[in-house]
Amino acid sequence: MNGNQPQRRIRLCADDYGISPGVNRAIRDLIERERVNATSVMVVGPAAGREEVGILEAAVAHNPHCLIGLHVTLTAPFHPLTLHYRPLQGGLFPPLSKMLRASLSRRLEPEMIFDEVKAQIAAFAERFGRAPDYVDGHQHVQIFPQVRGAFLSAVKNAAPGAWVRQCGRRRPLARRFGMPKALLLDVLSAGFRRQAVRAGVRFNPAFAGAYDFTTPDFGALMQDFLGGSPDDGLIMCHPGFVDDTLIALDPVTDQREREYAFLSGDGFRDMLAANRVTLG
């Protein structure tokens, strides 16, 4: 690496705090080690009660650079907080694929999304005693058509000091086609950023971290994520320890342990130094 390149400050965010005790435990450990400097909390998750919130706050007390945000959740297998929310499938939010199709065909009801996002912000505030530092979305639902306008309005109304996550990369077009998932996020994020600008809501300048959750060499992926991230860029990650709760709720299991193993190890510390990246 070029020792003359400028120092960059990156926001490395561990998603899904609250989905399971094992995920929570891994995230807290990385916060205390100062290997991540943000975590997004799923207030609708089964492990997001007052006790788990209190332990998280204690971990963050050891890492003053760490932010705590809200991970707005609008997809299965989780329940909405608002009683009137639609569409539902078996009493749960619809699966990701159905949510995306409904948003693209404009079959959603933005008023219900607005109310649900506000309810999740209120639940966060009730448990933490304050508004979230930022607001993002589980499975990137916040950038979907129809969702994004309601999401931004709810954030501006209920958490006006928070910034929001956009999921577009900042890299040459020729280097964007290797990961179809990331390319789709680039496209959807363009509209999200335009609406955020009109709404006067702040967002991260660049994003990285999207992949198919099957690559065993997470270190190689992280090197690529760091290389494409400008100063103040955001990288998401999903570290965790597998437990029965996680297995019942999410298909991403063993890969979380691979992410944790890399992020907690000396190799990641050395990678940050070689890339002149700080998480401070």
Between vectors from CA 68 to CA 67 and to CA 71, what angle results, nearest 5°?
130
Which pair of structure tokens corresponds to residue 96? Answer: 């990701």
HSE, CB side, 13 Å, CA atoms: give it for residue 89. 13
Sheet holding 163-164, edge to edge: 163-164, 134-137, 67-72, 38-41, 11-17, 234-237, 207-208
pTM: 0.94
Instruction: Write the DSSP string, 20-83.
Output: -HHHHHHHHHHHHTTS-SEEEE-TTSTT-SHHHHHHHHHHHTT-TT-EEEEEE--STT---SST
Per DSSP, the chain holds a count of helices (H) and strands (E) of: 10, 9
Residue 177 or 251, more confident: 251
- Average pLDDT of the segment spanning 154-159: 98
- Average pLDDT of the segment spanning 88-113: 96
- Average pLDDT of the segment spanning 254-270: 97
Q: Please, which pLDDT band fits residue 3 given cuts at 50, 70 and 90?
A: low
pLDDT the model gives residue 41: 98
The answer to whether 210 and 179 are in contact (CB under 8 A) is: yes
Q: Please, which pLDDT band fits residue 180 given cuts at 50, 70 and 90?
A: low
pLDDT the model gives residue 216: 85
